Amino acid sequence: MDIFKQIAAELGIRPHQVEQTVALLDEGNTIPFIARYRKEATGELDETVIRDLAERLTYLRNLEERKAEVTRLIDAQDKLTPELTTAILSAATLQELDDLYRPYRPKRRTRASIAKDKGLEPLALKLLEQGAEDPETLAKAFLGEDVPTAEGALQGAQDILAEQFTDDPANRARIRKFTYDTGLLVSEKADEEVPEAKEFQMYFDYFEDVAKIPPHRILAINRGERLNALKVKIQVDADKVYALLSEEIIKDSTSPALPYLREAITDGYSRLLAPSLERDIRRTLTEKAEEHAIQIFAKNLRDLLMQSPVRGHRVLGIDPAFRTGCKVVAVSEFGDLLEHTTIYPHEPQKRWDEALKTLKSLVDKYSLSLITIGNGTASRETEQLAAELIREHKPKLQYLVINEAGASVYSASDLAREEFPNLDVSIRGAVSIARRVQDPLAELVKIDPKSIGVGQYQHDVNQKELANTLDQVVESCVNHVGVELNTASGALLSHVSGLSARVANNIVDYRSTNGIFKTRSELKNVKGLGPKSFEQAAGFLRIANGSRPLDNTAVHPESYPLAQMILAQIGYSEQDLADRDTLVQIRERLKTLNAKQVAENLEAGEPTVRDIIDSLSQPGRDPRDELPPPLFRADVLSMEDLRPGMILKGTVQNVVDFGAFVDIGVKKAGLVHISQLSDRYVRHPTDVVQVGDIVTVRILNVEPTLERISLSMKTEQSH
């Protein structure tokens, strides 16, 4: 089966779609560009399918390269047979190919290779024939200086057979499957005492079916083992394994060679095959668990980045602390820093009234309408300060607690130093906390995604895979939303399709030198931004008040003539898009168009025409505006205020395999266990909630000493 047909079958699409998409990828087009602007070629494949296709393409191309390499290496040993060639060509996975190559792979000296060097391979083959000859008599023909005894000769022959049985691809595949299907993953307390041991108490005497163990438990057990808190092994019924191997190997149960073959089977499995397969299976379990954890992290990150921006608010940002004081910033509705200061309302200074006076003064001076507070140390106490300010002085003011994960990473970065060269690190962190609510995407792209704090086990998974996947999420979100060319930072621009970090910085430099961009085509003047980069990037960049209204839509410049023809069909021109009142009329007239008919009349692709009609209806559209805004608060709750049965609104902070953590406005987020997420059965928490959701929860239980809150999203009658 050729690669295109195989991918098409796996993804449930047509081979022609695969072929066209692969051609576009091989030409250097980005996935966001292909998904958005090459729908006719791909048959309207969405971005997720194209990413899956690209990933599978890479794997299968690597597999083909490896097949050629394995064939060459075995042929160089003069051991390539037609049967082996067929088996190599039909191998469906790298694992299968590795099993086929294993017997021919150069090995360090083993018991089997030493026995072969002594000339004992013919004796091993004689035993395997299972004839009627006495093995000891056969062995005497192989005695010499290197092999003084028949017993030594037979032991050497057994060593050769043990390795042969172990290396046989069919045996490995069969026993691997048996071990996976029937084995137990067993963990127990390690012999040595380590400080982290108590975290893993539930695994001190634990076992679970290999085939059923969920991803988060695999990663927890792996971590326990890595920290020397646990000993872990796979347990399987060895007698059944011996029986399975014997079925394949032993042909004559009356042969005198039988005891030697059985000994070789037992030795080969216990010494060679079992440890090797245990490594294989645990590696496979880990890879699957890591892939699952990375996907959950990716989904949480997407939901966080795609949260609705809070527009039009001038914000008071507070990075709380005790001894060193709370860093306070006032930022404009555009994110510009207006003023910064430090207040000391908490221990040890306790200058509470002075802090209130400073905050009130800043609110009045800059007409601030929203307070954002970081959720780190002293967050709770600072919340009480904000609540008192609102209650006593500013009843129209509201506040919101922001997850400050990554703010310190940003504030110490080169990017933050460039943006605020004269500011203290902690003040930069407060600016990040203030801006996060104004445009979560624009601010969070400045931070390494791993530091944003919406994953589980992010330090335990393959870091390269994690970084690649999270970068793809950021790229996808940025291009889905679109980027305002005249205000975007270099960090945001660097995630736009086709733009490298260097070119993104060149755009910012060009803007500083030449003033704002009037048109998208002016991008062609930017150093390093060639025709290909322009093609990939232009459609995702917006110019709100430029000279061409189409530059403020998702219509690609290559389709401007088509967009103008569509407008002409309803009696309007491009410039009419800039007039708010006329736009209302254009929108109504566009609704009367039949995309299929328009496409036929203008000899254009229907998907492109459909997208253009949609884009012309909504210049400057931000898809995030359709989402609910974050939950604002005016007063503070404490854990002592909570009672079972209370109904509260909260914000989903993190989603993990066993449930969701919800911020209900007290110091600790509460947990809605997966069993409490819905009245119906929930396969995975992400099917019900996502990061940033505003949800209604009921308090089930509060444990103040453990700082633990149990919540439910079920209706009361379902209890």
Domain with 516 in it: what CATH number?
1.10.150.310
Strand partners, 660: 655, 672
Q: Do 98 and 64 share a structural domain?
A: yes
Q: Give the H or E element holding residue 348.
A: none
Q: How confident is the model at residue 1 (pLDDT cuts 50, 70, 90)?
A: low
Categorize the per-residue pLDDT at 717 as very low, low, confident or very high, splitting at 50, 70 and 90: low
Q: Is residue 386 domain-resident? A: yes
Residue 468 belongs to some domain of the structure: no
- Residue 226 pLDDT grade (very low, low, confident, very high; cuts 50, 70, 90): very high
The CATH number for 32's domain is 1.10.10.650
Q: Mean pLDDT score of the chain, rounded to an integer?
A: 94
**Among 599, 626, 653, where does a domain finish?**
626
- Residue 222 CB: number of other CB atoms within 10 A? 21
User: For the stretch 61-83, what's the b/e string if a residue is b when 16 or more beta carbons lie within 10 angstroms of its beta carbon?
Assistant: eebeebbeebbeebeeeeebeee
For residue 216, is it within any domain?
A: yes
The closest alpha carbon to 189, from 180, 178, 199, belongs to: 199
pLDDT of residue 75: 96
Cα(577)–Cα(581) distance, rounded to whole angstroms? Answer: 9
CA quadruple 339, 385, 691, 467: dihedral, nearest 10: 50
Quick one: CA dihedral 144, 146, 150, 153, positive or negative?
A: negative
CATH number at residue 699: 2.40.50.140
Same domain, 265 and 326: no
DSSP 185-227: EEEEE-SS--GGGGGGGGGTEEEEETTT--HHHHHHHHHHHHT
Q: Is residue 719 pLDDT above 50, yes or no?
A: no
Biggest CA pair distance of the chain: 105
589 and 657 within one domain:
no
* % of the chain at pLDDT higher than 70: 99
First-residue to last-residue Cα distance in the chain:
54
| In a domain? residue 480 | no
**In a shared domain, residues 359 and 426:** yes
Q: Which of 104, 119, 150 is the last residue of a domain?
A: 104
Calculate mean pLDDT across residues 535-553.
96
Residues in the chain: 719
Do residues 232 and 225 lie in contact, with contact meaning Cβ atoms separated by under 8 Å? yes
pTM metric for this prediction: 0.87
CA 297 centroid distance within chain: 5
Domain for residue 489, yes or no? no
Which whole number is the average pLDDT over 394-417? 89
Is residue 474 in a domain? Answer: no
Count of domains for the chain: 5
> Is 616 in the same domain as 705?
no
- Domain end call among 460, 485, 515: 460
- DSSP letter at 593 equals -
Please write the tens of the pLDDT for every residue from 157-173: 999 999 999 999 999 99
Closest CA to 454 of 653, 668, 708, 663: 653
The dihedral sign for the CA sequence 65, 67, 68, 73:
positive
Q: How confident is the model at residue 455 (pLDDT cuts 50, 70, 90)?
A: confident
Kindly state whether residues 274 and 334 are assigned to the same domain: no
Q: Which two tokens stand for residue 526?
A: 């930017």
Q: Does 486 map to a domain?
A: no
For residue 261, is pLDDT > 80?
Answer: yes
313: CB partners within 8 A, 6+ apart: 333, 369, 370, 437, 438
Q: Could you give the 3-state DSSP secondary structure of residue 598?
A: helix
Is 607 in the same domain as 548? yes
For residue 520, give its domain range.
501-626
Same domain, 287 and 172: yes
Q: Taking residues 114-140, what's their average pLDDT? A: 95
| Domain at 397, CATH number | 3.30.420.140
Contacts of 286 (CB under 8 A, 6+ apart): 218, 219, 222
CATH of the domain at 141: 1.10.3500.10
Domain contains 330: yes
Identify whether residues 571 and 688 lie together within a single domain: no
Average pLDDT over residues 423-434: 93
Compute the distance between CA of residue 72 and CA of residue 53 in angstroms, rounded to an integer.
Answer: 29
- Is the CA virtual torsion 375, 376, 380, 386 positive or negative? negative
Query: 178 is written with which tokens?
Result: 């048996």
Torsion sign, CA atoms 211, 215, 216, 219: positive
Least confident of 206-215, 254-263, 411-420: 411-420
283, 148: one domain: yes
Same-domain status, 144 and 276: yes
Q: Specify the pairing of strand 398-402 against strand 483-484.
A: unpaired
Query: For residue range 49-79, what is the model confidence (pLDDT) as tens digits?
Result: 999 999 999 999 999 999 999 999 999 999 9
My answer on whether 546 and 650 are in the same domain is no
Cβ–Cβ < 8 Å for 94, 60: no
Residue 110 and residue 432: Cα distance in Å, rounded? 60
